[in-house]
Chains A and B, each alone.
Chain A
């Protein structure tokens, strides 16, 4: 390389032209004036932090990690990564118990599952919510997702032989939500993939993708999860030659991008083979595979693109899949963050901001009055269901429902 042939900097922060477009598109800023905004928190702040870590600003915790600043940036600066990396590097405040609990989905899931009916009943009670609000500062408005008595893994293991008979195989990273809360989604995926002649198998042992650990100040823990998961992926991709699909847009995004960008975990060997199920299915259909849909299936669907999916640019695959179903009335909702951002919206201090951020989305949904909202992210689902009352389904579940 000749001198100055190109320049490099941490997350490209030097490419920032200070145009402030990122700041114009940040959802947090509109609702919370305490947040300095992506430009200040990111590229501006980075120069000061390089001078002295003292200049790290605690207010960076208000960043949703929605990545909208990055999507908007005309210069290709990884603004959100810069902000989250700064939090990882410079914020040494130990996470609160509440944040540990919210972030440890595997742990909470394992605890809750055996006693799911009791947990579900209790977390649904008003008194529980009041107590959680007062003690742990988990906002009382929030509804907790219900836990399922039987995990998805157990179910799939029962059908393991039948799945192994399909000519083509794919591995499924189910994630915490499908395993502990809503195994139906996993079953729906199996149905759709089987209909395409693809059998589904599990990875040897998954861990939670770790996104909540990253944003809640538990990056060392997240790193352990990442190293473990990349190893599991490697076994499937490199040793068995399988592709790995997920049904959660955030799990896909975290493992593909947050692992190398924020945790420094190398996933080059597996990244290209790890994808969202809707992309996998779309690519199969594009190459000639076919799905047969029920006659007379009719649904009015409003599709919400989760922020991480918008960042990945893969919303197009979910949209196009849904639009293939005959009898569908499809509306693409305007690009708007739902506001919950995973564990962020559960925290009392963020609740109002979360709701303010999501309000334009909720208003649009109400005005469209769909039969169902389609969305690939589970926390968006909780947020939209709680804030609008409309049911939310993953596109895979809708596909499964519409199949013959």
Chain B
């Protein structure tokens, strides 16, 4: 087999694509992942980061709920270093119907979700930031997940099993022989190179952009983009996930994640043309703050870090063009049986939470096509870094008395933090002080995790995710990246792009300390550094 030939090509570097590549690679297939931007840039990187217990779906969509809780338990085992086992609360406020609670709990129990009614007093003790006016509370096994870390870990595992990755590479067309997809034409946005890749099976895991892929192939998949807006607060206000115990609605989940917490989300249908340019509107900002403050009143006086929006790929359950009937679960389309096109599979629908199951379904379909009989092990084998659950134990093992930065590295990298103990003091120097990211951690990411831009780096290491939003660390990291890939001109442009991205998320909430920080950043980059 020559270098451009694979068993399977997976298009889309979101969690579904990365998870599918991992599963395929673990079953011995030669895999190639192609992603037009960076990993986790679609819905994967633009959600709450909620590790659903499934409770939210228990009443209206019991199948999803069951799927969720099963996957929740699996991910806790195999993706330990990407997950924060926080537990969650479903609270009933005075304006809500307390009667919903009973129904809710029963539905949870039926789905296998351990939902426990607790006294509001206990809820207040467990979660001091929760709205003290709550009249009811249910405790559920919610958690939070870092989708970037999860995605990177899947990709890394795929690579460790021989998989290859092409990021910043866009599929510009398909190589079709009759009614069989043989491969793809690609264009690398960074190098300008064109390349063709071949495989008997191609998996379309592009989220909402899957519609476009399908159209290029010549099949129709009914997808409807639904925008969701979210806000990140500058520090972690709550330690348990806080939900509203009522019919799912806008902005009723507050998720703690790493050093921040996230309130979301909304749901607005948007046209396809807007998918690549989603922006958060002032109305959405107002709604998120207002509803968020009902869950945790201190949010009304907590600094907001950034606003962002993502696009959910809602998949139609039928051919109704209005998209009134959205499929609730995982959708795996074998286009051979459906449309007569061989060698092409679409995997979509589902949620971040159930990615592993989606990947399993897609990989099963791939293996069927290739007549490969290997079973799925992704639920048993931990992802690289997740072999040890407690990051405390990891840090202790690697460094006897870890510094704050070393502890933070252990929390982010899991057992892979071993790689940054180089014995060279200079590797401990901090690049990002807000999030405690060292030179060593950045170099490890550049080496193994397909980093070519500052935003890529940010996703994998949290550089620039702190309250300064890249004020200092961005140009320090730019220096390291320039050294790594050798092109300063490119890095200069990258730095500007990075700052533009940060600004895009800051100005919708540009008041108070956020505005002060933005002003300082402008000052530093324009007047002091001369960017």
A interface residues, Cβ below 8 angstroms from B:
1, 3-9, 13-19, 36, 39-40, 43-48, 50-52, 54-55, 57-59, 75
Contacts and interface: CB of A to CB of B under 8 A. Distances in A.
B472 interface: yes
Contact of A51 (B259, B303, B511): B259
Contacts of B512: 4, 6-7
Contacts, number: 94
Contact of A48 (B234, B256, B298, B408): B408
Contacts of A4: 289, 300-301, 304, 511-512
Given A48-B408, A54-B407, A18 B258 contact: no
A44 B434 contact: yes
Contacts of B124: none
5 contacts: A8-B298, A43-B467, A50-B259, A51-B259, A59-B403
Question: Which of A5, A17, A36 is packed against the most chain B CB atoms within 10 Å?
Answer: A17
Contacts of B407: 48, 54-55
Nearest to B298: A8
A47 B433 CA distance: 11
A7 to B, nearest CB: 5
Contacts of B517: 17-18
B467 A16 contact: yes
Given A9-B302, A47-B236, 12 more contacts: A3-B300, A8-B302, A9-B303, A14-B302, A15-B516, A17-B513, A18-B468, A18-B472, A44-B433, A47-B467, A51-B236, A59-B403
A7 B259 contact: no
Nearest to B511: A4
B168 interface: no
Given A4-B301, A18-B471, A44-B433, A51 B520 contact: no
Contacts of B236: 47, 50-51
B436 A14 contact: no
Nearest to B466: A47
Contact of B235 (A3, A5, A19, A47): A47
A55 B512 CA distance: 28
Contacts of B401: 58
Nearest to A45: B404
Interface string B499-531: 000000000000111001100100000000000
Contact of A7 (B293, B433, B513, B520): B513
B290 interface: yes
A36 B404 contact: yes
Nearest to A16: B467
A173 B434 CA distance: 43
A124 B404 CA distance: 42
Contacts of A1: 300-301
A102 B259 CA distance: 38
Contacts of B434: 18, 44, 47
A39 B466 CA distance: 13
Interface of B: 234-236, 256, 258-259, 286, 289-290, 293, 298, 300-304, 391-392, 401, 403-404, 407-408, 411, 433-434, 436, 466-468, 471-472, 511-513, 516-517, 520
A41 to B, nearest CB: 9
Given A7-B513, A40-B404, A47 B304 contact: no
A46 B235 contact: yes
Contact of A19 (B234, B259, B303, B520): B520
A17 B514 CA distance: 9
A393 to B, nearest CB: 43
A36 B402 CA distance: 13
A14 B293 contact: no
Which 9 residue pairs are nearest across A and B when measured between Cβ atoms? A18-B468, A14-B303, A47-B259, A3-B300, A8-B301, A50-B236, A57-B404, A47-B235, A7-B303
A7 B303 CA distance: 6
A57 B513 contact: no
Contact of A14 (B404, B408, B467, B472): B467
Contact of A15 (B433, B511, B513): B513
Contacts of B298: 8
A47 to B, nearest CB: 4
Contact of B436 (A3, A48, A54): A48
A18 to B, nearest CB: 4
Contacts of A46: 235
A3 B467 contact: no
Nearest to A54: B392
Question: Which of A8, A54, A75 is packed against the most chain B CB atoms within 10 Å?
Answer: A54
Contacts of B303: 7, 9, 14
B513 A3 contact: no
Question: Which of B258, B411, B433 is packed against the most chain A CB atoms within 10 Å?
Answer: B433
Contact of B259 (A17, A36, A48): A48
Nearest to A15: B513
A44 B516 contact: no
A264 to B, nearest CB: 15
B477 to A, nearest CB: 15
B527 to A, nearest CB: 14
B289 A17 contact: no
B290 A48 contact: no
B464 to A, nearest CB: 12
Contact of A6 (B301, B411, B520): B301
A51 B433 contact: no
A43 B516 CA distance: 16
Contacts of A3: 286, 289-290, 293, 300
Nearest to B471: A18
A121 B407 CA distance: 49
Contacts of A36: 403-404
A8 B467 CA distance: 15
Given A40-B433, A47-B434, A14 B234 contact: yes
Contacts of A7: 301-303, 512-513
Contacts of B256: 51
